[in-house]
Copies of this chain bind each other. A is one copy, B any other.
Amino acid sequence: MIDLCLYNQLHRFAVAPSVGATWQPNPPVHWKESTPMLRQHSIEIRVRYDECDPMGFVHHSRYLQYFEMGRTELLRASGGNYREMEEAGQLVVVVRVDCRYRRPACYDDLLRLETEITGVTAGKILHQYHLYRDQELLVQADVTLAVIDRKGQIQRVPEFLRTAFSADQSP
């Protein structure tokens, strides 16, 4: 036996039903009360060689992967965790990307990605991204997310995200 470490797989299946079983509401992902929800967060990204194309530029599809890192780290900095949400059966999916490319990033560039939550409703989470090299804006995007369960049913956006966002907006 190779004894593969499948711990997150096992987590995943802990919430999967046997055949014919009724789906139970997933255990809520607990929010660490002490951490205030952040609306903005910034990370640094070093461009990898395999991310660049024959023009020497980061391939335009790769920025969407950077944005995913941005929202993962924003959530982590706020005390949350996408992996735990997914293990609890709350799958976050992208429903729209509107991305404008202004200048190319190149191999080995050190970039700064600014992620901002711009809206949270019962059905959607909106993020905006600005990617910089020094002071120069390279790429800018709006991304819309939704939450589904394992059967593909749209779920309400978790309460903690909605509450945190509204609270944060109050003056």
User: Chain A residues in contact with chain B, CB under 8 A?
Assistant: 1-10, 12-14, 16-19, 21, 48-50, 52-57, 59-62, 64-65, 68-69, 72, 81-83, 86, 91, 93-104, 106-108, 133, 136, 146, 148, 150-154
Contact = CB atoms under 8 A, between A and B. Distances in A.
Contact of A152 (B2, B16, B17, B69): B2
A154 B1 contact: yes
A96 B13 CA distance: 27
A52 B9 CA distance: 12
Contacts of A62: 61
A132 to B, nearest CB: 12
A150 B5 contact: no
Closest 4 A/B residue pairs (Cβ): A4-B152, A18-B18, A61-B64, A16-B16
A152 B5 contact: yes
B104 A5 contact: yes
A52 B57 CA distance: 11
18 contacts: A2-B102, A2-B152, A5-B103, A5-B152, A6-B104, A6-B152, A9-B150, A16-B18, A49-B68, A52-B54, A54-B55, A55-B91, A61-B65, A83-B108, A95-B102, A96-B98, A96-B101, A97-B98
